[in-house]
Chain A
């Protein structure tokens, strides 16, 4: 069944016609060509598809686009400020928090939500907070460092 989904994506109003069985990750990647949101497992385990819906991190492969009609969506493409990297992006670069980079968009979106939630940013808290994101390259050490570093900067700002 064809539906029209109205969203605010990275600050811009979008009206997208799609079938009811379109996932949010498909809508972003295939209808809006925002391919920074990656689909790794497509079974809500790996977290590569993490985006923000109304400010909260969710796995866009396991949400139907029609379910979030009327919501505000932020993807990895929407966090830099006029060409200047978001503090979390800069920290991942600085701390070498990535290798192949496939998981990175999801890691960054989940990490921003983690910092914004106000929870303590100790190493165990960060590791627990990123349980929904899988990286097969780094061993996580530098990712945890990046989140701690960016978290401090984001909270000072």
Chain B
């Protein structure tokens, strides 16, 4: 890991100002993706801006029918939060299945969403529940946020401050985890929302995506049987040593059915 200048601001405004003043800065939350990437010298920022001293980023609040989770809230905090369990229990369940206990004690929701790893769990929840991403300058709908593998709508230096989820009890997440890393080989979140059924799939393609064919079928008939009619094409699916594209396409149907069955 190359050396860097380290900063620990205590306000969002200071964090953004430090970012803009530096040559090639990166924000640091839990560091559980960034630090391994820096060790491999895939990343070599001149400046790291540690967000852990900004208290407002670490809060979980339920208000006006939505659940606001600050960007530096850890996976274990989401998993154990009574507010999350009451307002959107699917999020607590999802968070409790990320990585392992030690990783959950450090990894953050904002880091996961900003990174947009194709196999991360949180993007499925953010897109599937129709959440929005609150930043230092605007609020971005999930449908516009995830663009491609490790690519999001975030501008240079834009800082996620929170994720705003609609409160819901009618949602479930089912994943087929990689047995070693617990990343999603395929993970499917199904939610019944005011605007209809949403199905978001992570792990299967370059980025999390909505399975609109599944949504249409489930809007007409919300059942495992109805879902059985849908076969996702494997053309754009990921293929690696863990699972081929056709197998991933098959898993999408299996995981979606498990999610539907548990709602």
Contact = CB atoms under 8 A, between A and B. Distances in A.
Interface of A: 1, 3, 19-21, 23, 42-45, 47, 50, 56-59, 62-64, 66-67, 69, 110, 113-114, 129, 131-133
B4 A57 contact: no
Contact of B31 (A42, A43, A63, A113): A63
Contact of B102 (A21, A57, A64, A69): A57
A63 B106 contact: yes
Interface of B: 1-6, 8, 28, 31-32, 35-36, 38-39, 48, 50, 52, 76, 99-103, 105-106, 180-182
Contacts of A1: 3-6
Contact of A47 (B8, B28, B100): B100
B100 A63 contact: no
B105 A56 contact: yes
Mostly helix, strand, loop or mixed at chain A's interface? Answer: mixed
A23 B99 CA distance: 20
Instruction: Indicate the member of B6, B36, B76, B99 with the most A CB atoms within 10 Å.
Output: B6
A133 B105 CA distance: 14
Contacts of B105: 56-58
B100 A67 contact: no
Contact of A21 (B1, B100, B180): B1
5 contacts: A21-B1, A45-B181, A56-B76, A64-B31, A132-B99
B101 A57 contact: yes
Contacts of B32: 44, 62
Contacts of A58: 102, 105-106
Contact of B35 (A3, A62, A133): A62
